[in-house]
Amino acid sequence: MLHVFTTFAEGPSFSVPELSLSRAKSHMNKLASDEMKGRNTPSPELEQSAEYLANEFKEIGLFPVNGSYFHTYTLERLHLDKPTSLLVKKGFMVAEMQLKDDFVPFEYSGSANVEYAQVAFAGFGITAPEYKYDDYKDLDVKGKVVVILRGEPQMDNENSPFDGKRFTKYSRLQSKMKTAYSQGAVGIIVLQSPLNTLKLRPSGFPWPSLYPNVPADALPLSRKNADTPNIPVVSAGEHFVELAFGSVDTLKSLHKHIDSLFKPQSRLLGEIEVLNFQTTLRTEKVEVRNVMGMIKGSELPNEYVVIGAHYDHVGYSKPNDPSKDSIYNGADDNASGTTGLLISAEALANAAIKPKRSMMFVAFSGEEKGLLGSKAFADTPPLPISQCAAMFNMDMIGRSINDTLYIGGNTRCKELANLNAEMNRTLFESDSMHLAYTIEQYFFRSDQASFAMKRIPVLFFYTGEHEDYHKVSDEISKLDMDRLVKISTLCSHTAWATADLPMRLPFTPLPGDDLSD
């Protein structure tokens, strides 16, 4: 059965075979089965999934990219090691902070040792010229350990200059690390907001060596980056706050002043000194794979449009009760998007007419560990990233929540969003989906962000968060497979139409986008 559509009034019509519901169910039953054990990055089951995807790409007629269906990248698996310590002096008293109870290193921490340093409070640790806010103005932190709060000023205020309640790039710890390091800080201690927490506890990475219920292989992964500051970065709790500020109430007061005045309250914490601050992370190299295949374009084959979805999830846990389910199958997150990718690739590969540009289908690994696979793809692409005309990402498209399909990326390329909306009306007519554009807060949590930060127009297809998110209850039985096929149909047709446009669409960054040079 064929559908014929027109992308623009003056544009060409094209035909694409109907996306297969039966094939979608077959792929889903494989990817979200207990056999795949939650497809953790890295794991033997993730590799098994990669082989399955590559074989499917080959079977449906996709071409390998540069002779391979795999894009391989190297990660470092991090182990918390000894010595890891934080020794603080206040007056004549020396206090040794206890690992786990008083402080916990982040996975972003360097492996470094500070022998002695003064301590400074730098508010939220933000320098944001476009918002006329700078926690480091008139504060010298060179050679000092910096204490900062999580989040942003006025983060509970819809009218906050920092984009209301939606977090900007300045809320991200990596951004705060780079800012502190550029100011000369030698270490960072991060505190949770005392206004939103009953008891201040360390909230660093849940290292298996510290928490017995965490699986031994649930270790953080990172891509080696020369720009990452090699300084200790930890989260601290109430004991440290009482030493540094005198009381939790003092920290609350500073936080409230920042919020009410929209003015930094940065200062030297003169009563406290760090005598020793050390984090030790042992690294282990791991190779991981994205999976890719291509349809060659008819006129501009060196340019390409990407349809992507991450195929990893979060693995399995160690249950207290062995009789209970412990496998995070990730049916919606994101076997749904991966299934959509496969049925889209099969339909487009069998289309009688090829678009002007090539189309690349990419299944990303490492998304759950911080978009690692898509970042690796965008940073070390198999084809020049400058030749990528657009990227379409399907992540969690398997549920029917309020019959709404959420679209992200629309504000960075309105032309692409308009094309998608037109395609929705043309494809489904009276049965067109309700498109909502209210998910900017999720934008940096999925793989389209890695492409957008390379100035590539993107669209993100998403049916919304639900109570089964990252739980063992994210099962196949709760999916709406007909709707998954419908969303995949919209994504694949809009991507085809984009690949066939006579011109490339523009990208417009938003304030706060952390664009790559």
Residue with tokens 């990252």: 470
Q: Residue 345: pLDDT band by 50, 70, 90 thresholds?
A: very high
Under DSSP, is residue 424 helix (H, G, I), strand (E, B) or coil?
A: helix
Determine contact, residues 427/3, Cβ cutoff 8 Å: yes
- Looking only at the bridges linking them, the beta strands covering 145-149 and 357-364 are unpaired
Nearest to 69 by CA among 371, 361, 447, 305: 361
Question: How confident is the model over 15-33, as a mean pLDDT?
Answer: 95
232-256 average pLDDT score: 98
User: What average pLDDT does range 164-190 have in this prediction?
Assistant: 91
Q: What angle separates helix 337-349 from helix 21-31, to the nearest 10 degrees?
A: 140
- pLDDT value of residue 216: 80
- Angle between the 248-261 and 238-245 helix axes, to the nearest 10 degrees? 80
Q: Is residue 2 over pLDDT 70?
A: no
Q: From the CB of residue 29, how many other CB atoms can be counted at a distance below 10 Å?
A: 14
pLDDT for 3 equals 39
Residues 402, 464: Cα–Cα separation, whole Å: 9
Q: Give the Cα separation of 83 and 97 in Å (integer).
A: 13
Quote the percentage of the chain above a pLDDT of 70. Answer: 95
pLDDT confidence tier of residue 403, bands split at 50, 70 and 90: confident
DSSP designation for 110: -
The pLDDT of 190-208, averaged and rounded, is 91
Query: In terms of pLDDT, which residue wins out, 214 or 512?
Result: 214
The encoded tokens of residue 457 equal 């127009």
Maximum mean pLDDT: which of 50-59, 128-137, 198-207, 430-439:
50-59
* Model pLDDT, residue 320: 65
Separation of alpha carbons 176 and 190, rounded Å? 10
| Bridge partners (DSSP) listed for residue 78 | 283
What is the pTM for the complete model shown? Answer: 0.86
What the chain holds in terms of domains, given with CATH numbers, is 17-63+296-499 (3.40.630.10), 77-283 (3.50.30.30)
- Residue 161: the pLDDT is 85
Q: Is 147 in contact with 274 (CB distance < 8 Å)?
A: no
Phi and psi at residue 490, to the nearest 5°: -65, -45
pLDDT in tens, 25-53: 999 999 999 999 999 999 999 999 999 99
Q: In this structure, are residues 496 and 353 in contact, taking their beta carbons and an 8 Å threshold?
A: no
> How many whole angstroms separate alpha carbon 279 and alpha carbon 187?
10
Tens digit of pLDDT for each residue in 452-468?
Answer: 999 999 999 999 999 99
Could you tell me the two tokens for 145?
């350990």
Q: What are phi and psi of 373, to 5 degrees?
A: -70, -45
Helix ranges (H only) for 164-267 are 173-182, 238-245, 248-261
Burial class (CB in 10 A: 0-12, 13-18, 19+), 174: middle
**∠ CA(179), CA(112), CA(169), 5° rounding?**
25
The helix, strand and coil proportions of the chain, stated in percent and rounded to the nearest 5, come to: 30, 30, 40
The whole-angstrom separation of Cα 247 and Cα 251 is 7
Q: Are strands 300-310 and 357-364 parallel, antiparallel or unpaired?
A: parallel
Q: How confident is the model at residue 14 (pLDDT cuts 50, 70, 90)?
A: low
Give the residue, 181 or 162, on which the prediction is more confident: 181
pLDDT of residue 7: 44
Q: Give the integer Cα–Cα distance in Å for 122 and 61.
A: 56
pLDDT at 60: 98
Q: CA–CA separation, 220 vs 230, rounded Å?
A: 16
* Res. 322: pLDDT tops 50: yes
Q: Which residue has the higher pLDDT, 16 or 28?
A: 28
The sign of the dihedral angle between the CA atoms of 343, 393, 417, 451 is: negative
**By the 8 A CB rule, do 146 and 189 touch?**
yes
How many whole angstroms separate alpha carbon 327 and alpha carbon 315? 6
Instruction: With H, G, I as helix, E, B as strand and everything else as coil, classify residue 328.
Output: coil
Answer left, alpha or beta for residue 270, where phi above 0 means left and psi between -120 and 50 means alpha.
alpha
